[in-house]
Amino acid sequence: MSASISGIYRHSKIDFNRQTMEESVRGTQNDLIMYLSDHPGLSQRQIAKDLCIDPSLLARDLKILTDSGYVTRQQNEADRRVNVINLSETGVKLAKTRIAAINKWWSDLFAQNPGIDPDAFHKELRAVYNKLLAGDR
| Tally of CA atoms within 13 A in the half-sphere of 12 that contains its CB | 21
Q: For the residues 23-51, what does the mean pLDDT come to?
A: 89
Question: Which one of 40-44, 127-131, 132-136 scores highest in mean pLDDT?
Answer: 40-44
Distance CA 77, CA 82 (A): 9
Contacts of 45 (CB under 8 A, 6+ apart): 55, 82
Q: pTM here? A: 0.81
Span 103-118, pLDDT tens digits: 988 999 999 999 999 9
DSSP-derived secondary structure letter, 82: P
Q: For the residues 56-73, what does the mean pLDDT come to?
A: 94
Distance CA 35, CA 40 (A): 8
pLDDT reading at 86 higher than 90: yes
Contacts of 4 (CB under 8 A, 6+ apart): none
pLDDT band at residue 34 under the 50/70/90 scheme: very high
pLDDT band at residue 136 under the 50/70/90 scheme: low
Distance CA 54, CA 47 (A): 10
Distance CA 55, CA 114 (A): 40
pLDDT over 70, % of the chain? 94
Q: Please give the domain boundaries of the chain with CATH numbers for all domains.
A: 2-134 (1.10.10.10)
Q: For the residues 56-84, what does the mean pLDDT come to?
A: 89
